[in-house]
Structure 1
């Protein structure tokens, strides 16, 4: 198996073991344009689940009064649900892209 395929596939699968770090290192260390392209795509896809984090922090501070009044913190629950959904979609997408890289000719 070619080094290009292995590094490109591992960039996508690194969502399970190295997160943002592995694609970033491959992006700067690799001299191959195809591998760099895959590393950039994997890096961006690993950052996507972090987008709603400020919304979650805002939701937690907003719903503190709801928690004190024994109400259901709806905004926080919706935000956590969105984060879980985005994380699941990104993980599935990375697995599909990693498999495609390993199986391409």
Structure 2
């Protein structure tokens, strides 16, 4: 087994120890085309769950702000964000699980080829 294939597979297995950081560092630091190609793919896969996570954080911030403002205005806060929060949490969990399985399979495939 040669070294670039091992490093290329570590891009995918990095979802276990440094999800976005390791492929980003290898993408910027590596001169090998194989490692850079796999680093781009691993980075894209590992960034997929970040989209619903960002939306979840924004929704949580908005909901917390409404609760905080309700204490000062005397109005009851609307909890209309609860359904959105649950859906975004489920979407994040599904995408994170899919990214884990996808990266594991791609890492094994990169080792074998």
TM-score in terms of structure 1 length: 0.85
Query: Which structure: larger Rg?
Result: 2
Q: Indicate yes or no: 2:107 matched with 1:101.
A: no
CA contact (8 A) 2:59 2:81 kept: no
Gaps of 5+ in 1: none
Gaps of 5+ in 2: 68-77
Question: Which of 80, 83, 94 is matched with 1:85 structurally?
Answer: 94
User: Match for residue 9 of structure 2?
Assistant: 9
CA contact (8 A) 2:13 2:107 kept: yes
After TM superposition, the runs of 4+ consecutive aligned structure 1 residues lying more than 6 A away are none
What is the CA RMSD across the aligned residues, in angstroms? 1.9
Check 1:58–1:5 CA distance in 2 against 1; reply closer, same or farther (3 A cut): same
TM-score in terms of structure 2 length: 0.79
